């Protein structure tokens, strides 16, 4: 939970001066103080800025443009090619957003901002987030929170100190299908019984490195000034150790976050293998497999996670939770979502009546409907004849449907949750504290690959 409360007093002048000094830039005092004096739920329209208008920045912009009562006042990107794109897109939708190359200028010269959305490469998240929070704004920052545990921790600490909201872009936490699965199916109905195992994966085919139009290359001096070695690393930052954590943090972060969230626990250990096996122009491990142990109140949950970037075979991306009464496969792609009931589980009629689940569908991958003569006998009372065992195997699972769909762009509910929290004080779906625990869980995988042994977590590791 964030420490932000809607009734939090505006910053005192002393706080403001400290903030300005820490920011190291000349904030324009008058507009900022004027804004601080009028916050507290008065204005319905929220003023927003975007820092980082690349692939994901655009996805977030397009989702945010569907949300009423937002006004984009500024867009910042060090690459004119992307900055101009953002500026033009916003203009098309009636927003007169001022363009900036340097986020410090944005924060010091745009008055009346409420919130900043940050979609820059991971190694800049802490710097950008901390500066925006210290300037008095709420922040929505993309995942992975940071490429270092220290960076992620500093973001939580700053948000707490400034009494500002920090939402991190693990958008599944606002997806109504995921919320239904976690809150209704697992927590309220306990449909899976005792969960023993979780697994997840994200498999992608080989892709070419990202390029750039030669006429839009940034000059070397500019790249160096912003911390990039060259245009290749600037475009392909997620593969290099100084900017990001590689595929396990880029893709795995989403699903490992769902492990922590759905299991309601942080892991106690991780062992992992992987390597920079395939790509010759990248630093990070392209294929990684990790095994976690999650100590939950009902026992250990063993969990495997794999991210492959050299093949798309094997079922795309999903998270799978298996218990002694059922199994649940979740994915942002609804066609991969499955729910199964073990034959030994209590009937689910009451959950059908409550609209938690719907009657077995015939979706892709669902087992064939169980024939009456194949019905399982819950207790066989002794060793079975092989023919009986065959019958039980076909009868063990029935496939069910989850009657909840997301009818919006996948990032829209998470942004709506963030802006709702600013306006109404509703809880954030992914506050910095939760995202910090996920960052700790994810980043340890790379350490475990390098160490070639099991690494353990202490409960205190997950607290910022």
Ligand X SMILES: NC(=O)c1ccc[n+]([C@@H]2O[C@H](COP(=O)([O-])OP(=O)(O)OC[C@H]3O[C@@H](n4cnc5c(N)ncnc54)[C@H](O)[C@@H]3O)[C@@H](O)[C@H]2O)c1
Provide the binding-site residues for ligand X, judged by CB under 6 A: 51-57, 76-79, 82, 103, 119-122, 124, 142-143, 169, 171, 226, 250
Cross-strand pairs, 199 = 304, 320
Q: Which is nearer to ligand X, 148 or 268 (CB)?
A: 148
Closest CA to 79 of 267, 247, 222, 239: 222
What is the distance between the terminal CA atoms of the chain, rounded to a whole angstrom? 12
Non-local (6+) Cβ contacts of 37 within 8 A are: 10
Q: Which is nearer to ligand X, 122 or 342 (CB)?
A: 122
Pairing of strands 299-308, 287-296: antiparallel
Rounded least distance, CB 218 to ligand X, Å: 8
Rounded least distance, CB 359 to ligand X, Å: 33
Rounded least distance, CB 279 to ligand X, Å: 17
Q: Which is nearer to ligand X, 154 or 398 (CB)?
A: 154
Rounded least distance, CB 253 to ligand X, Å: 8
Q: Rounded to an integer, what distance in angstroms lies between the CA atom of residue 159 and that of residue 433?
A: 10
Rounded least distance, CB 78 to ligand X, Å: 4
Q: Which is nearer to ligand X, 225 or 463 (CB)?
A: 225
Is residue 63 a contact partner of residue 411, using CB atoms and an 8 Å limit?
A: yes
Per-residue burial over 153-174, b = 16 or more CB atoms within 10 Å of its CB, e = otherwise: bbbbebbbebbbbbbbbbbbbb
Distance of CA 208 to the CA centre of its chain: 25
CB atoms within 10 A of CB 216: 12
Rounded least distance, CB 429 to ligand X, Å: 13
Q: Which is nearer to ligand X, 57 or 323 (CB)?
A: 57
Q: Which is nearer to ligand X, 53 or 397 (CB)?
A: 53
Per-residue burial over 367-393, b = 16 or more CB atoms within 10 Å of its CB, e = otherwise: eeebeeebebeeeeeeeeeeeeeebbe
State the residue number with the nearest CB to ligand X. Answer: 54
């Amino acid at each position: 939970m964030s420490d932000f409360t809607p009734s939090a007093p505006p910053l005192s002048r002393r706080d403001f001066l400290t903030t300005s000094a820490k920011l190291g830039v000349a904030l324009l005092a008058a507009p900022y103080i004027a804004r601080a004096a009028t916050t507290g739920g008065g204005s319905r329209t929220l003023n927003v800025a975007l820092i980082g208008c690349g692939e994901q920045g655009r996805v977030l912009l397009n989702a945010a443009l569907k949300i009423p009562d937002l006004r984009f006042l500024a867009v910042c990107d060090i690459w004119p090619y992307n900055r101009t794109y953002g500026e033009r897109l916003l203009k098309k939708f009636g927003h007169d957003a001022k363009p900036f190359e340097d986020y410090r200028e944005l924060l010091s010269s745009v008055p009346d901002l409420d919130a900043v959305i940050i979609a820059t490469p991971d190694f800049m998240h802490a710097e950008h987030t901390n500066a925006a929070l210290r300037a008095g704004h709420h922040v929505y920052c993309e995942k992975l929170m940071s490429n270092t545990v220290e960076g992620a921790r500093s973001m939580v600490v700053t948000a707490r100190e400034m009494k500002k909201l920090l939402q991190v872009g693990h958008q599944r936490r606002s997806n109504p299908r995921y919320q239904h699965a976690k809150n209704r199916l697992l927590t309220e109905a306990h449909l899976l019984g005792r969960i023993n195992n979780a697994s997840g994966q994200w498999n992608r085919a080989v892709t070419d490195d990202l390029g750039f139009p030669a006429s839009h290359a940034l000059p070397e001096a500019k790249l160096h000034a912003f911390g990039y070695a060259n245009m290749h690393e600037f475009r392909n930052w997620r593969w290099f150790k100084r900017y990001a954590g590689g595929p396990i943090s880029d893709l795995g972060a989403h699903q490992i976050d769902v492990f922590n969230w759905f299991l309601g626990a942080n892991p106690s250990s991780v062992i992992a293998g992987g390597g920079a096996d395939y790509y010759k122009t990248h630093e990070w491990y392209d294929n990684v497999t990790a095994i976690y142990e999650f100590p939950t109140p009902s026992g250990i949950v063993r969990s495997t996670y794999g991210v492959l970037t050299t093949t798309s075979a094997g079922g795309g991306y999903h998270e799978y939770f298996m218990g002694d009464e059922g199994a649940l496969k979740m994915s942002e792609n609804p066609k991969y979502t499955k729910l199964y009931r073990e034959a030994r589980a209590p009937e689910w009629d009451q959950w059908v009546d409550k609209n938690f689940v719907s009657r077995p569908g015939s979706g892709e991958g669902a087992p064939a409907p169980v024939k009456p003569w194949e019905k399982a006998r819950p207790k066989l009372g002794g060793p079975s004849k092989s023919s009986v065992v065959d019958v039980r195997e076909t009868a063990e699972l029935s496939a069910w449907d989850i009657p909840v769909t997301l009818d919006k762009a996948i990032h829209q509910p998470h942004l709506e949750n963030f802006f709702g929290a600013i306006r109404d004080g509703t809880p954030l779906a992914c506050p910095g504290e939760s995202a910090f625990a996920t960052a700790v869980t994810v980043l340890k995988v790379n350490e475990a690959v390098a160490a070639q042994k099991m690494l353990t977590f202490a409960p205190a590791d997950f607290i910022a």
